[in-house]
Structure 1
Amino acid sequence: MAKFINPFTDIGFKRIFGQEISKPLIIDFLNSLLLGEERITNITFLDKEQPALFEDDRSLIYDIYCQTEKGENIIVEMQNKSQPYFKNRSIYYVCEAIARQGERGTDWKYNIDAVYLVAFLNFCPMDFDKKFRSDIGLADKGNNKLFSDKMRMTFMQLPLFTKEADECDTDFDKWIYVLKNMETLTRLPWAAKSSVFKRLEQIADVASLSRQERMKYDVGLRKYRDTLSVLEGAKQDGLAEGRAEGRAEGRAEGRAEGRAEGRAEGRAEGIEKEKIETVKRLKAIGADINMITVATGLSAEEATRILSTL
């Protein structure tokens, strides 16, 4: 039995990042993410004003919505499977959170607060660059200068994070390592020296769940694993179908290539046989090497080669 909860389940993710007692954890994570840009000292969890997308399968995608003391709105999201039109969906999600800040009347001066999307991706979208972290904002294409700080999206492709514990130099690396490997760990590597990771160790311990929480977590974990099994089955079926189609196409292509090669070889053999017969006839009437090359268009080397076989 795992000692720590799986953060890729809805219950696990919300327990680590989405409750009042875990505020120090999400603040520490966001500060490690935004290191050198700003410092968050407090957040407020918000009731999501917009309906969550993809409610039909919460084992695939879930999020929390919070606001910093400076008014920035931050959506922290965990996704276990790519969605169609994924980039457009992400842009729409952020823009919807911005648009809902609008107020009626002529006095409103478009004084919008920034919206950040921080997305953990438990997969690698095919149209993303093959790198662990991507930070997307609004910038001038000519000089790459920031155009506006009101919208930002940070995507973290977890399969592309390959560091081991002893290679994690920054707090951000440590966070990602723990989240990616939590369910297989028997202890958190930095809990003895960090109050934040010590708190995470306590909150994420399966034994700390109440009976009701444990029942919900077990249901969520089963659903998460079942979903991944279905997705993996579909992937394997697709691979098998692709291999079968590939073999059939290969056989058809092989036959076509074989016929083409056979025709080409046959033509080459016929030409070679014709050359030999021509040289043979010319030799029979006493033609020398010079006459043979002139009459046949063969090089001296090729004519000599054929004559040596006669």
Structure 2
Amino acid sequence: ARKARGREENIRNKIMSRYLNPYTDFGFKKLFGEEANKDLLIDFLNQLLPNHHQIAKLTFRNTEQLPALEPERKAVFDIFCASASGERFIVEMQKAEMPFFRERSLFYVTFPIREQAKKGKKWLFQLRPVYFIAILDFEYDESEERRRFLREVALRDQEGDLFSDKLHFRFLQMPLFQKQEYELKTHFDKWIYFLKNLPDLEHIPAILNEPVFQKAFRIAELANLSREQYAAYEQNLLDYWTSTAVFDNAMKKGWIKGKREGKREGKIEGKIEGKIEGKEEGKIEGKIEGKEEGKKEIALTLKWKGFTLEQIVEITGLSIDCVRQHLLSSN
């Protein structure tokens, strides 16, 4: 029993850090989606907006958007808010690449556009701007020479002139942000560095030691969570590990096929159904229920991330011989 508790503690130490992971649903909404932390969201969004759309105040809106007609599909946003002057902002944290992500982005912006129509009143189509901001934990497919961390998209004509100022997209491809602490020049740089490196930090870097980031670090500190919040985050983090492990290995094994020639037609040929169950009070019984092949692929990713053989066995539920054989055959 003592040995088992020791293994659980080792796993916990490996998974948990001082600060929460903002790529998880819990972590992202804890930082940016709570009323008490609106100042953090405003400060972050203003780094992505032109001067004439800077936010002074904002209001959170219902993240579940129902269709105009019953059979149509609804949309559920991570964060949906509006400024005092009427601009709408959808903010999404996307953990893993999905088919038709761009099309999904277009579908999402139809909701804040359509809701501006004044029912039962004379309305002259005076739209307020809509911004779709996506923080991506992956690179979406572009040709090598066009790869960039921040991609800004607007409605432009064939001459490149702005056709309308009412619709804007911001895609942040986080893996392409490679700046180190000493290279951070702008406030925007600091925000991106904070989001990308937060789970690995053990203290506030000197360059981030200013009020807005001091608050963000305080909100993100796991020790400040209640027991219920901690248990919810722990489960959420393990779910995140599962989803990223599945995607990473699907890419490595060639289950996701495509072309990197400006546009890729992605196809997922393998399906892994994984679920990690965790218990609160500091105890993780990391059991993954699903197909054995899925467990093996997650085991391989855990190995890449530095987990020991014993930890992998504890998390996946596979036998030690099975894990050892799979890891050896994958070298």
Same structural fold, with TM-score higher than 0.5 when normalized by the shorter chain? yes
Q: State the structure with more CA Rg.
A: 1
Give the direction of change, closer, same or farther, for the CA distance of 1:240–1:93 in structure 2 (3 Å limit).
closer
Q: Tell me the CA shift for residue 82 of structure 1.
A: 1.7
Partner of 1:113: 128
Which range moved further: 189-198 or 169-178?
Answer: 189-198
Q: Tell me the CA shift for residue 241 of structure 1.
A: 11
Partner of 1:131: 148
2:214 paired with 1:198: yes
Q: Which runs of 5+ in 1 are unaligned?
A: 56-60, 243-310
Which range moved further: 106-115 or 197-206?
Answer: 106-115
Give the direction of change, closer, same or farther, for the CA distance of 1:62–1:13 in structure 2 (3 Å limit).
farther
- For the residues of structure 2 that align with 1:163 and 1:224, how far apart are their CA atoms? 25
Give the direction of change, closer, same or farther, for the CA distance of 1:175–1:51 in structure 2 (3 Å limit).
farther
Alignment of 1:43-62 (within 5 A): 43-51=58-66
Q: Is the 8 A contact 1:73 1:114 kept in 2?
A: yes
- For the residues of structure 1 that align with 2:223 and 2:77, how far apart are their CA atoms? 24
Instruction: Give, as a single letter, the amino acid of the residue that structure 1 aligns with 2:126.
Output: N
Q: Deviations over 1:94-135 (max 9, x none)?
A: 123212322334612112221100110110111473100011
TM-score normalised per structure 1? 0.70
TM-score normalised per structure 2? 0.66
- For the residues of structure 2 that align with 1:72 and 1:155, how far apart are their CA atoms? 18
Instruction: Give, as a single letter, the amino acid of the residue that structure 2 aligns with 1:40.
Output: I
- For the residues of structure 2 that align with 1:198 and 1:54, how far apart are their CA atoms? 40
Q: Tell me the CA shift for residue 212 of structure 1.
A: 0.8
- For the residues of structure 2 that align with 1:62 and 1:167, how far apart are their CA atoms? 33
2:103 paired with 1:88: yes
Q: Is the 8 A contact 1:190 1:197 kept in 2?
A: no
2:33 paired with 1:22: no
Percentage identity across paired residues of the two chains = 39
Q: Tell me the CA shift for residue 51 of structure 1.
A: 4.9
Q: Deviations over 1:196-231 (max 9, x none)?
A: 001001000011111111110001000000111122
Q: Is the 8 A contact 1:10 1:62 kept in 2?
A: no
- For the residues of structure 2 that align with 1:48 and 1:203, how far apart are their CA atoms? 22
Q: Which runs of 5+ in 2 are unaligned?
A: 1-15, 259-331
* 224, 230, 242: which one aligns with 2:240: 224
* 239, 248, 252: which one aligns with 1:236: 252
Alignment of 1:156-235 (within 5 A): 156-190=172-206, 193-235=209-251
Q: CA RMSD in A?
A: 2.7
Between structures 1 and 2, the one with greater helix share: 1
Instruction: Give, as a single letter, the amino acid of the residue that structure 1 aligns with 2:136.
Output: L
Moved over 6 A (4+): 52-55, 239-242
